[in-house]
Amino acid sequence: MARVQLEHVTKQYGEETAVDDISLEIKDGEFVTFVGPSGCGKSTTMETVAGLTQPTEGRVYIGDDDVTTLAPKDRGVAMVFQNIALFPHMDVFDNISFGLRLRTYDDAEIERRVEQAADIVQLEGMLDRMPGEMSGGQQQRVGIARAIVRNPDVFLMDEPLANLDAKLRVHMRTELQRLHRELGATIIYVTHDQAEAMTMSNRIAVLNKGRLQQIAPPLTCYNEPTNLFVAGFIGSPSMNFVEGKLIEGGLETNNFTVDVDPSRIPDVAVGDDVTLGVRPEDVHLVRYADSLTSPTTTIDAKSDVLEPMGDEIFVYLLLSEAAAGSMEQDPATSPNQLLMSVTPDTDIEAGQDVDLVLDRSNIHLFNTETGDALVHGITDLQEREPGTAPAGADS
């Protein structure tokens, strides 16, 4: 197994920059997922590691070797793609061992490797089956076994589960985690599905428009997103965003003001546009305010639509101004809307007035102009009365 390093990798197709100055290091044995919307450059970045694409600028290292110009077969990588393309006229054993035969391993070694790989992906007893006799998930496991037998330094997987149905995809996620644990393999995984990225990876690399936005453990991306893009992309349903402006002593939005001292927020000042972000699970009914460490003042809203999901209910809320003018607004795009998630035993009904609070410890602030995160949690950022000690400093 080996580490992988990208140094200022850029890939240009004519005028278009598919990958824009990406530098990152993947540690030996790490599972890193490239995630982002379609066209953001995930596959192209991985192709520069595979050797299927030469970067326009920058270097690629595997282990200590600069592999930037090496052919794919000389890089010690094995790939698994969305379309696994098994040979239909060969049985599972021959499909898995095909690459080894090209490399002239002896029969005993081939048999040993195929059996070990089949064991890892739980295909024992199926080695004489033809691909046409197997389910999509089993075929995908043949594709993974074909990569395992090559004993690569690095596994590269590009949307390998995309063609499977939802239930099988969830099952294969656990299988890939087990595979990672058993092999201690370095894995680079590409997906547009943030849930897949969150559940499997040691770290996720979030890309947008060819640029690396953040590379961090999944929960760090969730709790401390580096900018508005990551905050909106990671987490389902998405974080709520409410645009506002910093005034003396607060952040003023169309509908409510949050107490905060602008001088204690880095990089911004009174008059700057700041966007408040809050996740649906951090919006609460005012009656639960006592259970929060640091609730905001009350926000008036009206419940609009309820979406029961079984284990939770999503409540679409119109903030007070919007409630009055909602006839003219498309609720789906209204900036005056908040989404809240509540437990299924809620007594909230559609069309009802509701009083809300946000948990200050889970409010994120972003510079609206640059999109950069300013702070995560504003519990200690209220304006201080002259002569009072900061919150928590009570000795």
Q: Closer CB to ligand ADP, residue 215 or residue 315? A: 215
Q: Closer CB to ligand ADP, residue 145 or residue 212? A: 212
Report in angstroms how near the CB of residue 44 gets to ligand ADP at its nearest. Answer: 3
DSSP states of 343-376 as a string? -TT----TT-EEEEEEBGGG-EEEETTT-BEEEE
Number of shown-chain residues binding ligand ADP (CB under 6 A): 11
Q: Closer CB to ligand ADP, residue 210 or residue 250? A: 210
Q: Which of the residues 43 through 102 are near ligand ADP (CB under 6 A)?
A: 43-44
Strands (E) located in 14-143: 16-26, 31-35, 57-62, 65-66, 77-81
**Residue 160: how many CB atoms within 10 A of its CB?**
25
Q: Closer CB to ligand ADP, residue 20 or residue 261? A: 20
**Residue 169: how many CB atoms within 10 A of its CB?**
19
Q: Closer CB to ligand ADP, residue 54 or residue 370? A: 54
Q: 308 forms bridges with which residues in the sheet?
A: 313
Question: How far apart are the C-alpha atoms of 239 and 232, rounded to whole Å?
Answer: 6
| 3 to 22: interface string for ligand ADP, x by CB under 6 A | ----------x--x-x----
Report in angstroms how near the CB of residue 135 gets to ligand ADP at its nearest. Answer: 26
Q: Is residue 208 close enough to count as binding ligand ADP by CB under 6 A? A: no
Report in angstroms how near the CB of residue 36 gets to ligand ADP at its nearest. Answer: 6
Place of tokens 């990089």: 267
Question: How far apart are the C-alpha atoms of 234 and 215, rounded to whole Å?
Answer: 12
Report in angstroms how near the CB of residue 32 gets to ligand ADP at its nearest. Answer: 15
Report in angstroms how near the CB of residue 43 gets to ligand ADP at its nearest. Answer: 3
CB crowding 131-152: b at 16 or more within 10 Å, else e: beebeebbbbbbbbbbbbbbeb
Q: Which two tokens stand for residue 9?
A: 């990798």
Task: Give the torsion sign (CA, 125, 130, 134, 138).
Answer: positive
Q: Which of the residues 20 through 49 are near ligand ADP (CB under 6 A)?
A: 36, 38-44
Report in angstroms how near the CB of residue 244 gets to ligand ADP at its nearest. Answer: 32
Report in angstroms how near the CB of residue 305 gets to ligand ADP at its nearest. Answer: 32
Q: Closer CB to ligand ADP, residue 56 or residue 238? A: 56
Question: How far apart are the C-alpha atoms of 50 and 251, rounded to whole Å?
Answer: 48
| Residues at the interface with ligand ADP (CB under 6 A) | 13, 16, 18, 36, 38-44
